[in-house]
Chain A
Amino acid sequence: MRISVERERFADTIGWVLRSVSSRATLPALGGVLFDANGPQLRLAGTDLELAGEATIDAKIDEKGSVVLPGRVLGEIARSLPEGAVRIESSGGQAKLTCGAAEFTLRALALEDFPNLAAPGGAPSGTLDASVFAVAVGQVTRAASHDEARPVLTGTLVDATGDKITLVSTDSYRLAVREIPWAGPSTAIKRVIPARALSEAARASDGDGKIEITLGESQASFAVAGRRLTTRLIEGEFPNWNQLIPAELPNQLRLERESFAEAVRRVGILAQSGAPVRIDLGADGAKLGAGSQDLGEATEQVDGKFEGEPLTVAFNPAYLLDGINAVEGTEVTLSTRDGLKPAVLRAPEDASGFLYLVMPVRI
């Protein structure tokens, strides 16, 4: 293989591909980045056996070929190169990388041990604005579980129909749902995707462009701006989340979002070792309180518009804050039925298609 590429593009792309390269691999080839110069462009790829990142960039290809080069070293080299074209030449188990007066010789890793990247076949399931996708992923994945005992909850349900795509995560203490209108597949597709893979997919673009989503049988892939992230799916039945959302939420409190978040953060300081933050909902807004006999008490009043019967509910402050931060816009509505049923946070008028449900803590 003999190629030359533009330095900055090369360094950026290597940096992104390396996000998919494992640091805990068992096989040396998995610590490598694949250079595939057999097509019209240079394809770079890395994988940790759960997900794979590949990117194509323009290159002058003087001699076709492929080689796997050690990832971390390559990343450091790419970042440190001087201005100019980067030339890479591989033969006989090693590669020479030159840029300006700098020259590196690297030992190649076993190409035959580098796994195939089985991107799902078929047409894409649909396309979204990359920026909309990135926001939705940020809103939803925060509610995914980190407990490996229930693997399916560590993922995000992606439910694609002809007119909308719905992302759902829950760790059974809270639930985040985001619906986005799109032109999707004629037959509905449901897949559970590792939350980490979705976050990586969201980082694939700088916000510009369209992201192409393909939900295959065993893999899902996300392609944007010459980059493609492919991930394995989580197997198993995702819980029927619709039934968790109470049909009636008669008590509605509308608050300024940032003031609410700051108050929860402050009062939460005294809600230690799993203690909840209490909220008294009434005509003049919310009165937050937390504390214990050992530690002391904190309270704070947040003004807002309330409709319904006054009541007291209590939440895990971290879960509550996650929800308030996930809502878009300047205002947030907290809807409840009573102190035991799940409460819902969303933007007023429900324009964004986002909903965050949080289980109250019994007090």
Chain B
Amino acid sequence: MSARTGNDPAMWSRLVGQETAVRILRDAVASGAPGHAYLFVGPQGVGRELAAMALAASLNCPDGGCGECDVCARVLRRSHPDVYTIAPEGAQILVDQVRAVRENAYLSPYEGRVKVFLFEDAHRLNPAASNALLKVLEEPPGDVVFILVTESPEDLLPTVVSRCRRVDFFPLGPAEIERVLVTQHDADPALASWAARTGGDLSTALRFVKDPGAPDRRRAHLDIPGRLVRNGPSESVRIAAELAGEAAAAVSALTKRQKDELARHLEAFGDARATGAARKRVEDRHKREARRVETEVYDSALRDVASFYRDVLLAGAGVPDDALVNTEMAERLRRAAAVADPAWLVGALERIEDTRRALARNVQAVLALEAIFMELGTPRARAGAR
């Protein structure tokens, strides 16, 4: 798997296909002055969080990120007390979350050398949270590293971005994804090969490998453009309802896990009046997680539909089959491309993107989905996907 030498701490060797990012970060660590704020830019599923954990481990592990000691193990499990993960609660990162970060940032480390604060989906910092974070970035304590992970840096406050060192992460090729699935996730090689080709990114491919229902759901999403052509705009209501059903199923699976977690929480902290507030926080977080899972279902459906239109656009431009995301349906994509209007496709992709953003802002999901599918399915417009 990964050969280890004194110069090649194992934490970094887990990252596949991100040589530039790894070099920048390892040089920063080696310089002894790693900088206080990073912006990790790139699509999801390419190793941004893993790189953040590698950075956190190499700053705190006595062997610079050996990957095996207790420090590295707890960093990877996300249970190291000096490594914090801040994720959107619902659709946003809230100012209270940043306040808690600030309180912690000005305390000495709990047991390590450097406190690391990883902001997942940093573009979801709401304005108040961004401003609170900016204040800390303006006067960062010496032993703190902030890592802002995002796929859309343009949605961050420019003053925040300008205080961060940018590190770019690039999409993995199918061969690299396959390698990660097999070597790091023990996936069956044949399944890994298929998932890598159709998933498009590592996290989707990983979902395909781990979740047996995922490929079917993706196929259903990719069938949406065709259904709109065959059945017209009235189909949009049915599609939105199906997606709502898919979301409800995902939420109910989550609810089961949450019930277990709450039971464990009550065991650990008790159910007395004094801990009622903590219990409420867990329950609030569960509600936000449920909303997030729901949003993710809609978002993945829209991403899949967009990937179909983008492939049609590419096929129309004459790119080879293996450059398409949905290689397995290349023939259908070419047939659609033969009659599609590229300008309409570009417009459709923009509208889908708008809808994804709107959903992230907590609009009425089903209504927004009905509207977008209605639009994609109206006769004048659907020339694009005949």
In the complex, A89→B264 CA distance in Å?
Answer: 21
Contacts A24-B278, A151-B103 given: A235-B268 contact, CB under 8 Å? no
Whole-angstrom distance from the CB of A45 to the nearest CB of chain B?
Answer: 13
Q: Which of B110, B142, B267 contacts A235 (CB 8 A)?
A: B142
Asked if residues A113 and B268 are in contact (CB atoms below 8 Å), the reply is: no
Nearest Cβ in chain B — how far from A121, in angstroms?
A: 12
The distance from the CB of A131 to the nearest CB of chain B, in whole angstroms, is 29
Asked if residues A27 and B79 are in contact (CB atoms below 8 Å), the reply is: yes
For B79, give the chain A residue with the smallest CB separation: A113
B62 at the interface (CB under 8 A from A): no
Contact flag A115-B103 (CB < 8 Å), given A23-B274, A235-B143: no
Q: Is B28 an interface residue (CB 8 A)?
A: no
Contact in complex: A72, B275 (CB < 8 Å): yes
In the complex, which residues of chain B have a beta carbon less than 8 angstroms from the beta carbon of A70?
267-270
Chain A residues within an 8 Å CB radius of B274:
23
**A83 adjacent to chain B (CB < 8 Å):** no
CA–CA, A217 to B74, complex, Å?
Answer: 23
Contact A116 B268 (CB under 8 A): no
Stretch of A28-36, A248-256, A266-274, A306-314 at the chain-chain interface: A28-36
Contacts of B74 in A (CB 8 A): 112-113
Q: Which residue of A lies closest to B73 (CB)?
A: A112
Q: Quick one: which of B70, B141, B264, B281 contacts A28, CB cutoff 8 A?
A: B264
Does residue B1 face the partner (Cβ distance < 8 Å to A)? no
Rounded to whole angstroms, the CA-CA distance of A286 and B97 in the bound complex is 49
Whole-angstrom distance between the Cβ of A149 and the nearest chain B Cβ? 9
Q: A24-B281, A151-B103 are in contact. Are A49 and B110 (CB under 8 A)?
A: yes
CB-based contact B107/A233 at 8 Å: yes
A110 to chain B: closest residue by CB: B79
B106 x A109 contact (CB < 8 A)? no
With contact pairs A23-B277, A113-B77 given, residues A72 and B268 touching in the complex (Cβ less than 8 Å): yes
Residues on B with beta carbons closer than 8 Å to the beta carbon of A73: 267, 270
User: How many of chain B's residues have a CB under 8 angstroms from any CB in A?
Assistant: 31
Q: A235 and B269: CB pair below 8 A?
A: no
**CB-CB under 8 A for A50 and B269, given A113-B77, A115-B81, A235-B142:** no
A25 on interface, CB distance cutoff 8 Å: yes
B278 contact set on A, CB distance < 8 A: 23-25
On chain A, the number of residues with a Cβ less than 8 Å from chain B's Cβ atoms is 39
Partner of B108, one of A30, A72, A232: A232
User: How many angstroms between the C-alpha atoms of A4 and B22 in the bound complex?
Assistant: 52
Q: Indicate if the CB atoms of A116 and B111 lie closer than 8 Å.
A: yes
Answer yes or no: A139 CB below 8 A from chain B CBs.
no
B109 beta carbon closer than 8 Å to chain A: yes
A29 CB contacts on chain B under 8 angstroms: 79, 268
- Answer whether residue B265 sits at the interface, using C-beta atoms and an 8 A cutoff: yes
Assess whether B272 is interfacial by the CB under 8 Å rule: yes
Q: How far is A24 from B264 in the complex, measured between Cα atoms in Å?
A: 14
Residue A148 lies at the interface, judged by CB distance under 8 Å to chain B: yes
Within the complex, what minimum Cβ distance (angstroms) separates B72 from chain A? Answer: 13
- Chain B residues near A194: list those with CB within 8 A: 107
A154 to chain B, nearest CB (A): 9
Residue-wise interface mask of A (175-204) relative to B, using a CB-CB cutoff of 8 A (1 in contact, 0 not): 000000000000000000010000000000
With A29-B79, A72-B275, A76-B270 already in contact, the answer to whether A235 and B107 are too (CB < 8 A) is yes
Known: A148-B102, A236-B141. A49 touches B81 (CB 8 A): yes
Chain B residues with CB under 8 Å of A71's CB are: 268-270
Rounded to whole angstroms, the CA-CA distance of A118 and B70 in the bound complex is 14
Taking the complex as formed, is B99 at the interface, i.e. its CB lies under 8 A from any CB of chain A? yes
Is A145 part of the contact surface with B, judged by Cβ < 8 Å? Answer: no
Interface residues of B in 92-113 (CB under 8 A from A): 99, 102-103, 106-111
Q: Which chain A residues in 11-68 approach chain B with CB under 8 Å?
A: 23-25, 27-32, 49-50
Q: List 18 A-B contacts (CB under 8 A).
A: A23-B277, A24-B281, A29-B79, A49-B110, A70-B268, A70-B269, A72-B275, A73-B267, A112-B73, A115-B81, A115-B111, A118-B110, A151-B103, A151-B106, A151-B107, A218-B108, A218-B109, A232-B110
What is the interface of chain A, defined by CB distance below 8 A to chain B?
23-25, 27-32, 49-50, 70-73, 75-76, 106-107, 109-110, 112-113, 115-118, 148, 151-152, 194, 217-219, 232-236
Besides A31-B265, A71-B268, A115-B110, 9 new A-B residue pairs in contact (Cβ under 8 A), listed by A number: A23-B278, A70-B267, A75-B270, A113-B74, A115-B81, A117-B111, A151-B102, A152-B106, A194-B107
